[in-house]
Structure 1
Amino acid sequence: MLSGFKSFIMKGNVVDLAVAVVIGAAFSAVVNSIVVGLLTPLIGRLFNAKGMEDMQWEGFMYGSVISAIISFLLVAGAIYFVIVVPMNHMIERRNRRLGIDQDVKEEAAEDPQIALLTEIRDSLRQESSRR
């Protein structure tokens, strides 16, 4: 039972999701201050408004929508460039160091027959290198 839990926790999707949630929460204060303190007044000045909240057209508050979109894009960009890109580079370096071919590994995970054939191929290579 514990090995199943360990396998579940160590899957890449669970770890990626946990990192995204934690980092997203941590960056939220920074991103909100950038949007409220810098971008909102700048965009408001472009449209001759005091801020994003004052930007409206016949009662439609499009300023808050623009602010939310900018905030989302900043959070997504920060997570991608600060977490995802370095993690992908670390995984690639580790796989190169261990001699793991990612394409073969993904194909083997999809089809058990391919995984078996890959094991047979690898064992035949080892036997031929011993001779």
Structure 2
Amino acid sequence: MLSGFKNFLLRGNLVDLAVAVIIGTAFTAVVTAFTGMLLSAIAKLTGGSEPNFDEFAPGGVEVGPFLTALVAFVILAAVVYFLVVTPYVKAKERYFPSAPPGTPDDVQVLKEIRDLLAAQNAGGGPAGGTGGPGDRGDTDRTV
């Protein structure tokens, strides 16, 4: 029963989905702060009402909340990567080693067919040396 639960946690996309939700939530804060900064700049340029600026507002543009959200996003992404993604990848490699590198079966079969056809054409088998149209084994061609 526990091995099934372990398979569910490590083989499924559960961790990938959780990371996506966390990063998406943090990125929402970045986008919201950027939008607020952009709208503040547009209001300032068009002579609209003066927004309530944070302490860091060069040229009257509200940059403080955006920078705070950006730094929070980077810190959150680092924490998620080092405390969730890295251990997950290591556990997945330990319990579910990847298949040895090799050629897929269909490519291997196609290579065998190619080699057999090349051997027939070179060895004068039924498909080779007939002199028919498109025969590439014919070396006595005149131009």
Q: Tell me the TM-score normalised to structure 1 length.
A: 0.42
More helix by share: 1
Q: Tell me the TM-score normalised to structure 2 length.
A: 0.39
Greater relative contact order (CA < 8 Å, ≥ 6 in sequence): 2
**Structure with larger Rg:** 2
